[in-house]
Structure 1
Amino acid sequence: MSVDSIPGIDELVPSRYAQQVGDIEVLVISDGVLPITASTLATNVEPNELAGWLGDNFLPPEVVDWPLNVVVVRSGERTILVDAGLGLEFPDFPRAGQTAHRLEAAGIDLAAVTDVVLTHLHMDHVGGLLTEGVKDRLRPDLRVHLAAAEAEFWTAPDFTDTTMPQPIPNVLRRVAAQFLDEYHGLLRTFETEYEVAPGVLLSRTGGHTPGHSIVRVASGGEALTFAGDAVFAPGFENPEWHNGFEHDPTESARVRVELLREVAASGESLVATHLPFPSVCRVATAGDAFRCVPTVWDY
């Protein structure tokens, strides 16, 4: 029997995963994968140290696939899209930009989204909102939540401390500027924290970008944190490693360690943009480092 003939099955490999947090529904959706130069995973260590980590994790030495995850949160009357993936305007990355049609496959109409939360304005987080036809399908009273520091930074971004492959820096500038131009009328900026809906708290961490933010969901004694780009795959075992996309690498490492300690102490679930889908895990301490303990799939 072919997959196409099975009722309710739209893809052979699942691309969405539902996680209940008390009375709040969290849906992790894969936007696809994005090939990235492996050296960007650790810019402050010797190449042989990174090569050892890549080998230990069965990853190729030159170019690795970064997973891209976005999240839909349903709390009360609000349907909140957290980040929007890469979008379809980047032909060099044909395996990413899947958010819009995977929302449809999950039965989520773009017109039903009441709020969009953006962890930051890198292209793989906002590009989905710039795909042709998407904005026309969004409701006119949509609220787009973003840290004020993030919007301000991208008016004149400084990439001094980043180590990104070309031509990505110029593409990041262009995409962020386009987003701010097209969505300025829908933006709702905040300073440090903002409760988007009951039990859904948006908090600015800084580090990765000046306005980088995380989303904490809490209900009925349960909790889950969407960490955005505060944590990458090597960051559990090597929290002090710098990622080439971090605009303040030292602050990013501090934020990462503090966040992982908090999540390990609370026992709550963790989801992050670039952890392997569905990325739902818990965090355990391992001396001065951490372990990502994948959650058993509930199906």
Structure 2
Amino acid sequence: MSQAETKPRRIGQQETNMSLDNTSNPGTTARDELVPSRYAVQIGEIEVLVISDGVLPLPTAMLAHDTDPAVRGAWLDDMFLPPDALDWPLNVVVVRSGGQTILVDAGLGLDPALNLPRAGQLVKRLEAAGIDLASVTDVVLTHMHMDHIGGLLVDGVKDRLRPDLRIHVAAAEVKFWEAPDFTHVSMPAGFPDALRAAATRFAEEYRGQLRLFDEEHEVAPGVVVRRTGGHTPGHSVVRLASGGDRLTFAGDAVFAVGFDHPDWHNGFEHDPEEAARVRVRLLTELAATGEQLVATHLPFPSVGRVAVDGDAFRWVPVFWDY
């Protein structure tokens, strides 16, 4: 690693040891990557690093399985996206506040049975960003789908984590995965079994480190996790607030198509009607506050704001800060 990659820099007049220097600059990207995979944001005194876990190729029907294929296809065509299969981004966030280093979600990890080689990049990208797994004090899980917990199940990862690591997750989420209901989802073959197996294994391996909350919990100064439900019963969002700045990590409450069509049902939603209500409430709130939004499956770096556009919404990406 070059000197430019290892030296600390100042972000918003505050020095950091997270090696966030020029994280959006392709010149600091690993040689085998053609695009950046990390991007730094400052929210008051809170340091935020968005990290790409890679991409997850899925059928485009997953964007709206309840919608006429021709209508869905027209939206894809308008967005210059392929009609049949789409690479879904996978984003996680590292937050530093009050002396704590918090990993929000943990990416896909490795599941050879599903043949998803371009996902599960989190561990090596944390290393490339100069973030030691042993420095992580807390993990916040938006929910327990495998693309949010799988990075913690990669061989050898648990041994590199702190023994006093705290994993914050809604109690309703843990309860749900004891007997999960897949009757309202529309997933590719193999995914329900893989999701169930990953959640079961995760609960077994990390049960002693789980810190359960009911509706809302402050993880660190200015870092609050709040249960929304919908996508899964315990699905949660993470709200950051410091010095007048605000950012929400929305997990799977918002997908790219959800701005134009917030009522469309995503194939991974266990309660799609409630998920649509959650999405509308959240987007309405974000449009009113003007705060920044990051979500798991929005195009990297997924940092932007929300505007109201008639009966729907409009995604307004930030200008990259080099």
- Assess same fold via TM > 0.5: yes
For 1:197, the aligned partner's letter is: A
Shift of 1:10: 3.6
For 2:93, the aligned partner's letter is: V
Deviation per CA, 1:248-277: give whole Å up to 9, x if none: 000000000000000000000000000000
In structure 2, the partner of 1:104 is 127
Shift of 1:120: 0.4
Partner-residue secondary structure (3-state), 2:246? strand
* CA distance in structure 2 between the partners assigned to 1:226 and 1:21 by the alignment: 12
Moved more, 191-200 or 36-45: 36-45
Shift of 1:5: 8.5
Contact 1:89 / 1:131 at 8 angstroms: preserved in 2? no
* CA distance in structure 2 between the partners assigned to 1:214 and 1:18 by the alignment: 19
In structure 2, the partner of 1:257 is 280
Report whether the alignment pairs 1:20 with 2:37.
Answer: no
Contact 1:207 / 1:251 at 8 angstroms: preserved in 2? yes
Contact 1:43 / 1:244 at 8 angstroms: preserved in 2? yes
* CA distance in structure 2 between the partners assigned to 1:111 and 1:29 by the alignment: 17
Report whether the alignment pairs 1:203 with 2:226.
Answer: yes
**Match among 119, 126, 135 for residue 158 of structure 2:** 135
Deviation per CA, 1:17-38: give whole Å up to 9, x if none: 0000000011000000000111
Shift of 1:199: 0.2
Report whether the alignment pairs 1:232 with 2:255.
Answer: yes
Contact 2:106 / 2:152 at 8 angstroms: preserved in 1? yes
In structure 1, the partner of 2:185 is 162
Contact 1:264 / 1:282 at 8 angstroms: preserved in 2? yes
Shift of 1:59: 1.0
In structure 2, the partner of 1:61 is 83
In structure 2, the partner of 1:284 is 307
Supply the RMSD in Å over aligned alpha carbons: 1.2
Partner-residue secondary structure (3-state), 1:194? strand
In structure 2, the partner of 1:293 is 316
Report whether the alignment pairs 1:31 with 2:53.
Answer: yes
* CA distance in structure 1 between the partners assigned to 2:190 and 2:233 by the alignment: 22
1:142-181 matches, cutoff 5 A? 142-181=165-204
In structure 1, the partner of 2:111 is 89
Deviation per CA, 1:11-69: give whole Å up to 9, x if none: 24110000000000110000000001110100121000000011111111111000000
In structure 1, the partner of 2:63 is 41
For 1:71, the aligned partner's letter is: V
Shift of 1:6: 9.6
Shift of 1:88: 2.4
Of all paired residues, the percent bearing the same amino acid is: 69
Shift of 1:111: 0.2
Contact 1:237 / 1:291 at 8 angstroms: preserved in 2? yes
In structure 2, the partner of 1:126 is 149
Mark the runs of 5 or more structure 2 residues left unpaired by the alignment: 6-27
* CA distance in structure 2 between the partners assigned to 1:191 and 1:5 by the alignment: 45
* CA distance in structure 2 between the partners assigned to 1:46 and 1:199 by the alignment: 42
Partner-residue secondary structure (3-state), 2:158? helix
Shift of 1:214: 0.3
* CA distance in structure 2 between the partners assigned to 1:98 and 1:156 by the alignment: 29
For 1:137, the aligned partner's letter is: R
TM-score, normalized by length of structure 2? 0.90
Give the length in aligned residue pairs: 296
Runs of 4+ in 1 over 6 A off after TM superposition: none
For 2:217, the aligned partner's letter is: Y
For 1:58, the aligned partner's letter is: F
